[in-house]
């Protein structure tokens, strides 16, 4: 097999490409203080793919006084080696993302550097573990400032020493960080929660789980597992349980599971670049249709479960109640009860800014779609109405104008931005369009906040381009 150029050579290429395209090169940020200490210009919560790529784009824009935090230990950020239980990504291998149009930073360049061009040609879908390894390399080669084992637990408005605006973010470590801008790159449940019916949540923790939980599948070997949901994540969990030796029944609430991946339709430049600029009715209508259609599972995922002859799928059979009975879980359905040893909910997330600990103190002040938009009769949807209504820079808006202007300094880049901007903070294929737009909004706010300082800098500017010999000129 043809070998690649090696990662060391690729890393040198990446640094050269970044240097060649580093325009403009002038440092322009002005230090701002809080209690005599420098405040961060940008704090990014979440060191998954979106948080890392946002940090890279900010640094390219010469915004370097930044920090990325993640609640997970190093190497466990994001979903790819935690609860994304599929062996491969679902995106086609040629879709770019975190590279932000730097050729040497693409996954293809990283893969070929190690395995050669022919290996890339032969590759089907990208292995999830490889994608995670690529992101780990990306973070290292770019020197991104990441602090692990730190979560944001509270956000409130603050004031800089010169009277300017800032945010005070309390961390799980007890530290309070002052930052001028905050990016919430907190993924699937960043403005809500993984959802399961209350009657499932009421079961003992060792009898049920969400698909996002750290499930000990080995413990389920030889036991009965029931999975509610027929989307890709539910199927992946069913397959993982089957591969661990469990006996699995999957329950689909609809008469037929979705075989269509609606998100494939919208992968074109016009939609991804401009859906966020369209009238509210069209954003509501188009994204509502896509989200209600649910995520279809890929062929490879279906093949994983079909490899087990005893796998059973119950169509049009939802769960209406559950309780413990003789040490097992009794699940009520319209076709009678079903007994199992363990229940897994694969129902995705629901928006609810009030349940996020870091947003709890400010949730009542955040504008939701339900506050700003009234859909036509017949198009109402309370699940859509719970999404945050974001400004064109992905920032929270005030529910009551004039009461919380500092909300404009909190930018959402996760599932919560979907209704406002399409799959912006939740999809690899949208990153090259939406991260520059997000960062442009952040830098606009930073520049606007420093206008007086930039004006003073202009008035003091005295760098001469030419040294004149005035003696050669006639003056009257």
The predicted pLDDT at position 2 comes to 54
In a domain, 217, yes or no: yes
Helices (H), 31-188: 49-60, 107-115, 117-122, 128-142
CATH of the domain at 342: 3.50.50.60
The 10s digit of each residue's pLDDT in 412-455 is 999 999 999 998 887 898 999 999 999 999 999 999 999 999 99
The 10s digit of each residue's pLDDT in 315-364 is 999 999 999 999 999 999 999 999 999 999 999 999 999 999 999 999 99
The predicted pLDDT at position 1 comes to 44
By CB neighbour count within 10 A (0-12 exposed, 13-18 middle, 19+ buried), where does 280 fall?
middle
- 170 and 301 share a domain? no
pLDDT bin (cut points 50, 70, 90) of residue 230 is confident
* Percent with pLDDT over 70 in the chain: 98
In a domain, 227, yes or no: yes
In a domain, 52, yes or no: yes
User: Would you say residue 170 has pLDDT above 60?
Assistant: yes
The predicted pLDDT at position 277 comes to 96
- 42 and 151 share a domain? yes
- 338 and 228 share a domain? yes
The predicted pLDDT at position 466 comes to 85
User: Would you say residue 185 has pLDDT above 60?
Assistant: yes
- 132 and 144 share a domain? yes
User: Would you say residue 154 has pLDDT above 90?
Assistant: yes
- 311 and 183 share a domain? no
In a domain, 280, yes or no: no
Contact 207, 331 (CB under 8 A): no
The 10s digit of each residue's pLDDT in 291-321 is 887 666 778 888 999 999 889 999 999 999 9
- The structural domain count of the chain equals 2
In a domain, 283, yes or no: no
- 451 and 321 share a domain? no
Of 328, 347, 366, the one marking the end of a domain is: 347
In a domain, 285, yes or no: no
Q: What is the mean pLDDT of residues 104-114?
A: 97
Query: DSSP per residue over 275-289, as a string?
Result: GGGS-HHHHHHHHHH
- 108 and 218 share a domain? no
The 10s digit of each residue's pLDDT in 396-412 is 999 999 999 999 999 99
- 31 and 168 share a domain? yes
User: Would you say residue 387 has pLDDT above 80?
Assistant: yes
For the question of whether the overall pTM of this predicted structure is more than 0.85, the answer is yes
418 HSE (CA, 13 A, CB side): 30
- 222 and 88 share a domain? no
**How remote is the C-alpha of 416 from its chain's centroid?**
9
Residue 36, helix vs strand vs coil: coil
Least confident of 2-6, 10-14, 378-382: 2-6
In a domain, 278, yes or no: no
In a domain, 462, yes or no: no
User: Would you say residue 470 has pLDDT above 80?
Assistant: no
The predicted pLDDT at position 476 comes to 66
- 302 and 362 share a domain? no
Q: What is the mean pLDDT of residues 176-185?
A: 98
The predicted pLDDT at position 295 comes to 65
Task: Show contacts of 200-205: CB within 8 Å, 24+ apart.
Answer: 200/228, 200/319, 200/322, 200/343, 200/345, 202/322, 203/322, 203/323, 203/324, 203/329, 203/343, 204/324
User: Would you say residue 258 has pLDDT above 80?
Assistant: no
Task: Tell me the pLDDT of the chain averaged across its residues.
Answer: 94
- 180 and 201 share a domain? no
Which range marks the domain in which residue 305 is found? 196-258+294-347
Contact 136, 146 (CB under 8 A): no
- 329 and 213 share a domain? yes
Bond from prior residue into 24 cis (ω within 30 degrees of 0): yes
């Amino acid at each position: 097999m043809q070998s690649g150029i090696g990662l060391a050579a690729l890393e040198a290429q990446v640094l050269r490409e970044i240097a060649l395209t580093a325009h403009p090169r002038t440092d322009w940020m002005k230090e701002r203080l809080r209690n005599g200490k420098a405040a961060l210009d940008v704090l990014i919560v979440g060191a998954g793919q979106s948080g890392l790529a946002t940090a890279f784009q900010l640094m390219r824009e010469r915004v370097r006084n930044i920090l990325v935090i993640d609640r997970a230990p190093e190497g466990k950020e994001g979903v790819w080696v935690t609860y994304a239980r599929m062996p491969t990504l679902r995106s086609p291998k040629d879709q770019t993302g975190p590279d932000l149009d730097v050729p040497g930073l693409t996954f293809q360049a990283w893969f070929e550097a190690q395995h050669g061009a022919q290996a890339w040609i032969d590759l089907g879908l990208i292995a999830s573990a490889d994608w995670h390894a690529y992101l780990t390399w990306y973070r290292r080669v770019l020197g991104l400032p990441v602090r692990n084992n730190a979560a944001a637990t509270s956000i409130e408005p603050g004031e800089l020493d010169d009277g300017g605006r800032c945010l005070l973010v309390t961390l799980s470590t007890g530290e309070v960080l002052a930052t001028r801008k905050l990016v919430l790159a907190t993924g699937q449940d960043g403005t809500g929660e993984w959802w399961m019916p209350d009657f499932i949540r009421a079961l003992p923790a060792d009898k049920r789980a969400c698909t996002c939980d750290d499930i000990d599948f080995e413990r389920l070997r030889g036991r009965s597992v029931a999975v509610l949901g027929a989307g890709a994540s539910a199927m992946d969990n069913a397959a993982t349980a089957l591969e661990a030796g469990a006996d699995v029944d999957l329950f689909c609430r609809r008469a037929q599971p979705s075989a269509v991946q609606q998100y494939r339709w919208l992968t074109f430049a016009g939609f991804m670049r401009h859906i966020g600029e369209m009238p509210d009715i069209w954003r509501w209508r188009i994204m509502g249709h896509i989200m209600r259609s649910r995520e279809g599972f890929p062929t490879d995922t279906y093949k994983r479960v079909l490899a087990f002859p005893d796998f059973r799928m119950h169509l049009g059979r939802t769960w209406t109640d559950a309780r413990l009975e003789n040490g097992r879980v009794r699940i009520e359905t319209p076709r009678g009860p079903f007994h199992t040893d363990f229940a897994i909910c694969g129902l995705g997330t629901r928006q609810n800014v009030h349940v996020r600990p870091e947003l709890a103190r400010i949730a009542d002040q955040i504008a939701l779609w339900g506050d700003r938009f009234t859909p036509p009769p017949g198009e109402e949807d309370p699940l859509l109405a719970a999404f945050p209504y974001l400004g064109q820079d992905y920032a929270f808006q005030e529910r009551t104008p004039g009461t919380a202007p500092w909300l404009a300094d909190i930018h959402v880049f996760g599932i919560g931005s979907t209704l406002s901007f399409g799959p912006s903070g939740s999809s690899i294929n949208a990153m090259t369009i939406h991260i520059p737009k997000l960062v442009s909004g952040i830098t606009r706010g930073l520049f606007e906040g420093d206008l007086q300082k930039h004006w003073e800098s202009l008035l003091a500017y005295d760098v001469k381009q030419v040294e004149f010999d005035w003696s050669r000129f006639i003056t009257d």
